Structure 1
Amino acid sequence: MKSIKNVVVVGGGTAGWLAAASLARHLDPLTHHEYTVTLVESPDAPIIGVGEGTWPTMRNTLRNLGIDEFEFIRECDTSFKQGTRFVNWHTRAENGQDASYFHSFELPRGMWPIPPGPYWHHLQKELGLSYAEAISPQPAACMHHLAPKGLDTAQYETVLNYAYHLDAGKFATFLRRHACEKLGVTHLLAHVESVNVSEAGYIESIATKQGEKISGDLFIDCTGFASLLLDKTYHIPFRGVSDTLLVNKAVAMQVPYASEQAPICSPTLSTAQSAGWIWDIGLQTRRGTGYVYSDNHTSPDEAEATLRAYNKEALNKQVVNTNHQAVDVDQLDARQIDLRLGYREKVFHKNCVGMGLSAAFLEPLEASAIFLIEASCNMLTELFPQRMEQLGTLEKKYNAVFTQRWHRVVDFIKLHYFLSRRTDSGFWLDNTDQTTLPDSLKEQLEFWKFYPPTRFDMPSALEPFVRESYEFILYGMEYHADYQWSAGQLPHLENAQANFARIRKLSAEITDVLPSNRALINKIRKMR
């Protein structure tokens, strides 16, 4: 049976270049010349990303690719991300006061010898703190715009767990240079005109408008929403999730800071609106913002007006010095984006694997898009097929794993909407309608009426969201039963009280321990 030696990645962007770099790192074509990794992309393909958020897994991805963290931070307008702050999701703002909670990256297991949830619930009135604030100093660090570590902390190591905010266009350019110069990827700029498939259904080559024929053994479809291979060639059905996740459009806007000294926000800000939510991602030189909305509940013009009003208010709140610049939000460009939420019924077919938007898009609320690309790369490199005869069994396993992941991501995103107590618009009323709730999530919520989340709820090692992530959302949205704990069920109460006191002390001292985001990034930018 034929060996698999030549990999062709069709499409660039974050998905294409992460795939190419990961496969080249694994196959090492610079040393093992029998292998090739070729990336073919259109010279005028648009970048969909508008200021991206990642997960802490990105640190290992970059480290494994041999990337210098400081170079990455300098080249990609990168800032540190320490989770997400959800504003006005549970209830709308009242008397000018926002209601918010954190989904932090610093999980309890890092600072707690015991699961703290039941103990926080038991001591909630005594503590007077939200769940995230009680179990970790990270929310305090975020509120003070602090970095997750100091300059003397080793690259990719932490004081507080972190990921990144980045400029997607600059990130793709950075990965391209690293993949081609350091990992041996061949890069071709060309328009794909046709795909040549064998009688057995395997892709043999692609032909470009420039007259080139590019043969391969394994093809990776990273062509975005166009999905040239999975959709246009193989006609793999797309399963929409619009009956569960109701948003279908976004309007995006890049906003300069009012001052070069303006603080850089550590968490992604996710602020609920009457017909969706606004993301706010702080990079080094600008903020990436956007309103994800349902056009069944508002119009594109109204959505754009809402985003502009939000950015005007945000700029007014920035701490600026006398050299601040006047930012006219009304003159900033806004870009409308159609969101088609769902996933391919199969993302691995014959000798073709879809990654990124060609495989699925499940809305950006928890920044799962880049993580799922990382997960795809990890599985494909770990189980890389040596011979064509392996493809059938790998296809079955790969599709089963990712179908489960799509379902879990949909459930987790829906959790945020369904637990809201907002009744101020049709959007929120529709989102809390039982008919929009997947059966799998409904069963979990029934269980959580009587029990806190447990290790039995997420038995798979491949869960995209761990138990602690569900705890942040459930407790942040005040969905927890009035658990009646016996003494035997809280055997570590004294230790828990001591640990809550320790975390409170750390939170109060955090400004003496960590620099600000901007201060640390400025130091890194000077280290050329």
Structure 2
Amino acid sequence: MKLGELRVEQVVIVGGGTAGWLTACTLAKNLVSTRPGAIRVCVIESPDIPTIGVGEGTWPTMRRTLENIGLDETEFIRECNATFKQGSQFIDWKQNADDAQPHTYYNLFSSIYNPADFNLAPYWVLGHAGRDVSYANAVSAQGVACDRGLAPKKITTRGYDAVQSYAYHLDAGKFAALLKRHAVDKLGVHFVPANVTQVNCDHDGFITDVDTEEQGKVSGQLFVDCTGFRSLLLGDTMRIPFNDVNDVLLTDTAMAAQIPYLSKDADIACVTKATAQAAGWIWDIGLQNRRGVGHVFSSAHISDDQAEQQLRAYCGDLSGELSVRKIKMRVGYREKFWHKNCVAIGLSAAFVEPLEASAIFLVEAAGNMLSDLFPRSRGAMAHTEKKFNKSFRFRWDKTIDFIKLHYYLSSRQEPFWRDNKQSETVPNSLLDKLDAWSRHPVSKYDFSDTNEPFPHESYQYILHGMGFEQSLQSSASTFAQVEQAKMSFANVAKATEHVCRDLPSHRSLIDKVCQYGFPKI
């Protein structure tokens, strides 16, 4: 048989954690069956290497992913200490905390009207929603619901259905354990608990098998690298270089901690809180029994001791009891994500700071694309490799642009924030968009690529939440549907009243899910 005709019969995923087990579930659900020609999926996970487990935020896409692999939402929430996430709240990003009125805004998951159908943003800029209405409250009911601590659905709502769009906050360690159990017990994934000692390649540079300390050789025709920052396959073996982007995203270190609630009835925030600091920002994520907090910062602008002091000050009375863990972040991506018969997914492929919780979403996207375009032979890999690399270079570049946008728009004056506005730290692709958007609304035509990770709505929430100036008066006549816009703003206000009247508190819904569960039919 010619090498190009070599069939792919087994996929070997090296590394577990969220990336490894979520990819395994996706591939197994779509490719594993009892039919002839079905693919075998094998996961090799070291019993000695812990997962990083810091990222606890997801995107609304996770609902479809979990449903597609056959996980019950009630089981997921119970097993993973999960809660609902309806967006992100940005605190003090525009100005310093000691200013008279701290600045806060939302990036939400739900808008009443799809801006691709009718874009309300220019009408808000021109004042047709009222002078004192924030952009988020003008287009969505979700911000007010979040202010009041309300859940995105009711206990009578079916699993994965929503009244308002939502994602999850979760315990990453428990999530990986649930995915592992589901993959092995329900989806036919073969699990090899072992440490990989060597990766072996043929004379063409394709991986043939890996040696393990406990289980001997494990062979396959396609290998997925989920070994985290180590990047054992794509980096160490294939020698694919890593492109640092620390000249654009200046944060390179995190301090993480966990805070228990003072009572079992404590309110649970239904957004990820991101509070700006002198040289970075602090995340605050509410799970069922604790909050996960962490300080993401630039080591060039603040010392570790100062960063930890700021985190402890944020945590208040419980700060003395906290155990703080330091995490060095290598920010950037591999020059290629797929090389020959090796695909990197998760931290082995790329990493950017967790500001917009993009990490798990991009694992989902990679697993889905690999499943959809799965090459059945070695000869088919080159074409798939090219498409995969093009897609994920685009996705990571756009993710970097979007995260940089948050920093660039800030008016804070500490050195870290001023450095983020220096033109040499800002991608030209972002500067070009901002120049155009200063005179024209964000448009659906700015997002014509199906691989765009952040949609039209997300950019508008950030731009208008941060007070980005748009000069639209000279083109006001272009936006002639004023009465329709005013009616739409009024409908949003009515929907907000309805939502706030009918939805339960976040804590009460989580308690009911844990006790009763969502209806299955």
If the TM-score is normalised by the length of the shorter chain, which range does it land in? Answer: over 0.9
TM-score (norm 1): 0.94
1:506 positional shift: 2.8
- Structure 1 distance, partners of 2:401, 2:182, is 36
* 1:26-425 equivalence runs, <5 A: 26-29=30-33, 34-95=38-99, 97-110=101-114, 114-123=118-127, 126-312=130-316, 328-423=318-413, 425=414
**1:195-250 superposed Cα distances (whole Å, 9 cap, x missing partner):** 11000111000001125100001100000001000111011000000110000000
Secondary structure of the structure 2 residue equivalent to 1:446: helix
- Structure 1 distance, partners of 2:202, 2:476, is 68
Q: Runs (4+) of structure 1 moved beyond 3 Å?
A: 29-34, 94-97, 107-113, 485-488
Give the partner amino acid of 1:163. A
Secondary structure of the structure 2 residue equivalent to 1:365: helix
**1:93-144 superposed Cα distances (whole Å, 9 cap, x missing partner):** 2456320110000035459951110111112672411111111110011011
- Structure 2 distance, partners of 1:472, 1:200, is 49
Residue 123 of structure 2 contacts residue 129 of structure 2 at CA under 8 Å; is this kept in 1? no
For structure 1, which runs of at least 5 residues remain unmatched after alignment? 316-327
Residue 151 of structure 1 contacts residue 520 of structure 1 at CA under 8 Å; is this kept in 2? yes
Shift in alpha-carbon separation, 1:96–1:173, aligned structure 2, 3 A: farther
Mapped pair 1:490 → 2:494: no
> 1:453 matched to which residue of 2?
442
Residue 51 of structure 1 contacts residue 288 of structure 1 at CA under 8 Å; is this kept in 2? no
Residue among 452, 455, 467 paired with 1:463: 452
Give the partner amino acid of 1:194. Q
1:508 positional shift: 3.5
Shift in alpha-carbon separation, 1:484–1:500, aligned structure 2, 3 A: same
> 1:476 matched to which residue of 2?
465
**1:170-212 superposed Cα distances (whole Å, 9 cap, x missing partner):** 0000000100010000111111000110001110000011251
- Structure 1 distance, partners of 2:204, 2:162, is 50
For structure 2, which runs of at least 5 residues remain unmatched after alignment? none
Residue 108 of structure 1 contacts residue 116 of structure 1 at CA under 8 Å; is this kept in 2? no
- Structure 1 distance, partners of 2:289, 2:215, is 42
Secondary structure of the structure 1 residue equivalent to 2:76: helix
- Structure 1 distance, partners of 2:120, 2:22, is 37
Give the partner amino acid of 2:448. P
- Structure 2 distance, partners of 1:458, 1:331, is 47
> 1:324 matched to which residue of 2?
none
1:402 positional shift: 0.6
- Structure 2 distance, partners of 1:512, 1:111, is 26
Secondary structure of the structure 1 residue equivalent to 2:468: coil
Give the alignment's Cα RMSD to 1 decimal. Answer: 1.6
- Structure 2 distance, partners of 1:487, 1:297, is 43
> 1:516 matched to which residue of 2?
505
Residue 32 of structure 2 contacts residue 38 of structure 2 at CA under 8 Å; is this kept in 1? no
Residue 275 of structure 2 contacts residue 282 of structure 2 at CA under 8 Å; is this kept in 1? yes
Give the partner amino acid of 1:56. P
Residue 141 of structure 2 contacts residue 495 of structure 2 at CA under 8 Å; is this kept in 1? yes
| Aligned residue-pair number | 513
Name whichever of 176-185 and 111-120 sits farther off.
111-120
- Structure 2 distance, partners of 1:200, 1:193, is 21
- Structure 1 distance, partners of 2:92, 2:221, is 50
Residue 452 of structure 1 contacts residue 480 of structure 1 at CA under 8 Å; is this kept in 2? no
- Structure 1 distance, partners of 2:37, 2:378, is 19
Secondary structure of the structure 2 residue equivalent to 1:353: strand
Tell me the percent identity: 49
- Structure 2 distance, partners of 1:30, 1:139, is 48
- Structure 2 distance, partners of 1:16, 1:502, is 44
